[in-house]
Structure 1
Amino acid sequence: MANQELLFSEEEFIISKTDLKGNITYGNSLFIQMSGYTELEIINQPHNILRHSDMPSVIFKLLWNRIKEGKEIFAYVKNKTKNGDYYWVFAHVTPSFASDRKISNYHSVRRKPSKKALEAIKPLYASLLQKERSGGINASEAALNQLLKDKGISYDEFILSL
């Protein structure tokens, strides 16, 4: 039975690492369990193997732009599993740096999102996805930027306020 929501506890963390191209190099046991893949199946696969079709591209554009600049980002993400189930996470994604201060990989720690946050995120993502389907990623990005402008806050302030 696909398209069932999977849950994990507030005390648990989903952790993964990727190389600079976004290929999975590490996943903790909860990451592997939630994904529905075996460790052998998921290691060295692109992280977007978990991308759910309900996710607007603009969120990943923002995420990748931020971490490639060497900055952290927080984001709410809906992931899909191998069998088509899904789970929501509140992700903290950061670059890791080598001794020469160049980005060496990316690291993500994900926790269970609050119901309150998802009540705000789900309709926002649906709206952004609708804009994206009718006008492309630029339309979706413009809608997100307008929302933030109307609220008078940055993306980070918005996400952390939920």
Structure 2
Amino acid sequence: MKPSITPIDREIRLGEDEFIVSKTDTKGIITYCNRVFMHIAGYSEAELLGTQHNIVRHPDMPRGVFRFLWQTLQDGEEFFGYVKNMCKSGAYYWVFANVTPDYDPNGKIVGYYSVRRKPSDTAIAAIAPIYQEMLALEKQVGPKDAPDASIRLLQEKLESLGTSYNDLVMSLDK
């Protein structure tokens, strides 16, 4: 069960040479986490292993981003994106995430491998307002339609910019 944590306005920043690494099964249950993940998020290994990865999901993150992430992974593709996570203390930390399907020898997806690093300040400044707009729309349409509505909003924004999601996120973190 996900703990009830009240967000606080305190940012924890990854160092330039720090990488958060985790592995999950196909349902998003954490099967491995590195020490950087434990340190930044403020959880022990015992608290993270066997727990849904959304234990660090910040309420400022639109559900549509995660729906898009899961659709991308289920299509067998890797996902790149910016994510605002929440620490056990309620503080937050931003990451630039790369999530990749993990395959067994027969080519079946058996889980996901994720490496997250410190994002650039300019990338967060560009993506945060888009996420805020997606989140506002999600609250307006209600929980049932929220993820699909905010994905449509994101796709409309990308079309108006003449770019794809991957091209946008990769261009922001240079």
What secondary structure, in the 3-state scheme, does the structure 1 residue paired with 2:47 have? helix
For 2:129, which of 106, 116, 123 is the aligned residue?
Answer: 123
Number of matched residues?
Answer: 162
After TM superposition, which residue ranges in structure 1, 4 or more long, deviate above 2 angstroms?
136-139
CA displacement at 1:158 relative to structure 2: 1.0
CA distance in 1, matches of 2:151, 2:98: 21
Per the normalisation by structure 2, the TM-score is: 0.90
CA displacement at 1:69 relative to structure 2: 1.6
Q: Map of 1:40-119 to 2, 5 A cutoff? A: 40-119=46-125
For 1:3, which of 1, 6, 9 is the aligned residue?
Answer: 9
CA displacement at 1:2 relative to structure 2: 4.0
Read off the aligned partner of 1:77 and give its amino acid letter.
V
For structure 1, the residue ranges without an aligned partner over 5 or more in a row are: none
What secondary structure, in the 3-state scheme, does the structure 2 residue paired with 1:45 have? coil
Per the normalisation by structure 1, the TM-score is: 0.96
Q: Map of 1:140-159 to 2, 5 A cutoff? A: 140-159=150-169
CA distance in 2, matches of 1:158, 1:2: 29
What secondary structure, in the 3-state scheme, does the structure 2 residue paired with 1:142 have? helix
Q: Aligned-residue CA RMSD in angstroms?
A: 1.2
CA distance in 1, matches of 2:33, 2:24: 9
For 1:137, which of 140, 147, 166 is the aligned residue?
Answer: 147
CA distance in 2, matches of 1:137, 1:71: 20
CA distance in 2, matches of 1:13, 1:42: 17
CA distance in 2, matches of 1:69, 1:146: 21
Percent of matched pairs sharing the same residue: 46
